[in-house]
Amino acid sequence: MSTYRLRPLTRAGLADIDDPCGHCNFGNLGSEPPGWVDEVADLWGICGVSAQVNGDIAGYLTFAPAELVPFVPLPSPGGSSAEAFNPDAAVFMALSVCREYRGRGLAKNLVRSAAAQLAKRQVGMIEVIGTFARPGVPHADGSRDSSMVLLPVSFWLSQGFRVVRPHPVTPTMRLDIEGDRTLAARFRRRLATLRRPGVAAGSGATGQL
């Protein structure tokens, strides 16, 4: 079984994402990434992280500052993404894993790698919209212009997030990096590992994503 490698995701890399599994509309980004990607790339140099297997992208996570998050309608009460986030937070937008590569810990390691990249950029908190809906939405099936993909609240809780905006369907969840020295140190170590040439991410983690 091939191991996967975690890499920063640039605008060019995002534009290369297609549908490697041929049936799940993986990524669903079309030929041209949305406009907010350019703004995020100009600000941070990257717009997310990716997991690669033999040069192909098996999964990815995109993020943006709260002020650049596109308007996304959410079930009421709560209204929209414009009202859901702390203005100082970075926001996880879409976390997608191709079906062929699920169950190998990609989603968990994408979250950790993204947090490491944001910690390097002195981001103090990360927020995301979770969902209590069953099943969760593990990747962008169907909605071709989707910029936000919702995963179950239970997944984000397992990654250290907590609910900061309660909602019966789509709560906002937060991971504080700045206030947790142990967490910040862990992310820095993770980032250092990612920067070593030839180091592959471990694939022993379990889970569906």
Question: Residue 74 belongs to what domain range?
Answer: 5-194
Contact indicator for 66, 91 with CB cutoff of 8 Å: yes
Under the banding of pLDDT at 50, 70 and 90, the label for residue 89 is very high
Angle, helices 181-194/106-120, rounded to nearest 10 degrees: 100
Q: Is residue 119 part of a domain?
A: yes
Q: Is pLDDT of 92 > 50?
A: yes
Average pLDDT score over residue span 94-117: 88
Q: Is residue 205 part of a domain?
A: no
Copy the structure tokens of residue 186: 């862990």
CATH no. for residue 156?
3.40.630.30
pLDDT digits (tens, 9 = 90+) for 26-50: 444 445 566 788 889 889 999 999 9
**Model pTM?**
0.75
pLDDT digits (tens, 9 = 90+) for 178-204: 755 555 555 555 545 544 444 444 333
